[in-house]
A and B are shown apart, each in its own frame.
Chain A
């Protein structure tokens, strides 16, 4: 197999773009919390970038993409990147070095547990977070990645479509976030005192950087520099813009003002929803997916507020529901005119694809719920998941890290 320099350059550049998304997520989340918790929130993302980078080369990549075992998990033959060299792997990416594919996938594995951190922001003990993230990446993310993307994975063999991670990344993290929020319980004062974002500008900057990095996430998933990458790039931008417009319109109608944070959250919802579909739908499909994301994710937040679940930064509503909508919409709007190696969706004469997508959605929801619940309970046996009440009131920046984010401003 011959290495294509253009494809390799694009995938490596895309890996760098996706890497940027994790600190960008830290800023997106960091702006939404109170100023006494901003450093701890940013630290969650930054620390996971380090933690999963090491986990992935040691055993994560092998479990997710290694030689198939019973269609549910990769083997340990590729532990420590053994047998993962510079010769292309035809099962995954025939025109780029195997390690280029590996490092691109590493960045997906990094950002996924970082997404969950928004659910338990402002109250989780850092040590518990470290243990949870390592176990979650190993026992929830790696198996689901193998099911959907691994050669021999059972959902892959069934024909489930997930171009860049709607099921693997966003459903798994969003649903796990809901479980984490329920297990940890509400923050002190939740529902009694209003928690305002401490820096909306930081949140908008984080969203903009996420949007930028997402071109690597989706267009990079073409694993080559060509027409499919171009299509993925165009539909990603279109769906994102449409979702931001829709969210802002719905919130303007509902709350009587066009919210800036709402526009940023709507953009992220659109990015999430187009992710699984980005290599399979045309630009008209992207507009519908963006519109749907703006509506359903906004409604999911209203539902979450009504049932008083303290998913602090709405990870479930944006990633869990947005990812579910995107995975379902892939089964509606996919067309072989965009990707001849995939399948048509319902609107192009293949209703069976919707059923396959629903099966993949159900499997990811189920595994994420059960796996996350067990991991949280196991971690809690060794390290309390929550900080003490006085530590929570003081703020996690000082109680967990001993550092204030803003030296002279009263920490509240």
Chain B
């Protein structure tokens, strides 16, 4: 196994193992901003 492979394995382990200690859910929940979904048809010239 060459040095590049060793470093690549370490990088992958850091990322994958990192998920075990990350938060399960958001720390704070912001209320969603509701915007009207109603749209008037755009006027187009013929």
A residues near B (Cβ < 8 Å) are 242, 245-246, 249, 252-253, 256-258, 282, 284-285, 287-288, 291, 333, 347, 406-409
Residue of B nearest to A408 (CB): B40
Q: Report the Cα distance A347→B14, complex, angstroms.
A: 21
- B45 within 8 Å of A (CB atoms): no
C-alpha spacing A406/B38, complex, angstroms: 12
A245, A282, A288, A406: which contacts B7 (Cβ < 8 A)? A288
Q: Which of B15, B23, B41 has the most CB of A within 10 A?
A: B15
Partner of B15, one of A245, A256, A285: A245
Q: CB within 8 Å of A: which of B1-46?
A: 2-5, 7-8, 11-12, 14-15, 18-19, 22-23, 26-28, 35, 38-43
Residues B22 and A253 in contact, CB atoms below 8 Å apart = yes
Does A285 contact B8, Cβ atoms closer than 8 Å? yes
**Shortest Cβ distance from residue B13 to the other chain A in the assembled complex, whole angstroms:** 11
Which residues of A are found within 8 Å of B23, using beta-carbon distances? 252, 256-257
Query: Which residues of the partner chain B approach A288 to less than 8 Å between Cβ atoms?
Result: 4, 7-8, 11
Q: Is B3 touching A291 in the complex (CB atoms < 8 A)?
A: no
Please state if A291 and B22 are interface contacts (CB–CB under 8 Å): no
* Closest residue on chain A to residue B23 by CB atoms: A256
- Chain B nearest CB from A318 CB (Å) reads 19
Taking the closest CB of chain B, its distance from the CB of A329, in whole angstroms, is: 10
Chain B residues whose C-beta falls within 8 Å of the C-beta of A249 in the assembled complex: 15, 18-19, 22
> Could you say which residues of chain A place their CB within 8 Å of the CB of B40?
407-408
CB distance from A274 to the nearest CB of B (A): 13
A246 contacts B3, C-beta separation under 8 Å: no
Q: Which residues on B are within 8 Å of A, measured CB to CB?
A: 2-5, 7-8, 11-12, 14-15, 18-19, 22-23, 26-28, 35, 38-43
By the criterion CB–CB under 8 Å, are B12 and A287 in contact?
yes
Please give the distance in Å from A411's CB to the nearest CB on chain B: 13
Kindly list chain A residues whose C-beta atoms are within 8 Å of the C-beta of B38: 408
Q: Is the CB of B42 within 8 A of A407?
A: yes
Assembled-state Cα–Cα distance A407/B15 (Å): 44
Majority secondary structure of chain A interface residues (helix, strand, loop or mixed) = helix
Contacts of A242 in B (CB 8 A): 11-12, 15
Question: Chain B CB within 10 Å — which of A258, A284, A407, A409 has the most?
Answer: A284
| Chain A residues positioned under 8 Å from B26 (CB to CB) | 256-257
Nearest chain B CB to A259's CB is how many angstroms away? 11
Inter-chain contact B4/A333, CB cutoff 8 Å: yes
Chain A residues near B39 (CB, 8 Å)?
Answer: 406-409
Instruction: Output the residue of B2, B27, B28, B35 with the most chain A CB within 10 A.
Output: B2
Name the B residues within 8 Å of A287 (CB-CB).
8, 11-12
- Taken together as a complex, chains A and B put the C-alpha atoms of A245 and B22 apart, in Å, by 13
Residues of chain B within 8 A (CB-CB) of A252 are 22-23
Q: Can you give 27 A-B contacts (C-beta < 8 A)?
A: A242-B11, A242-B15, A246-B11, A252-B22, A253-B18, A256-B26, A256-B27, A256-B28, A257-B23, A284-B4, A284-B7, A285-B4, A285-B8, A287-B11, A287-B12, A288-B11, A291-B8, A291-B11, A291-B12, A291-B14, A291-B15, A347-B3, A407-B39, A407-B43, A408-B42, A409-B35, A409-B39
CA distance A60 to B27 in the complex (A): 52
CA of A287 to CA of B7, assembled, Å: 9
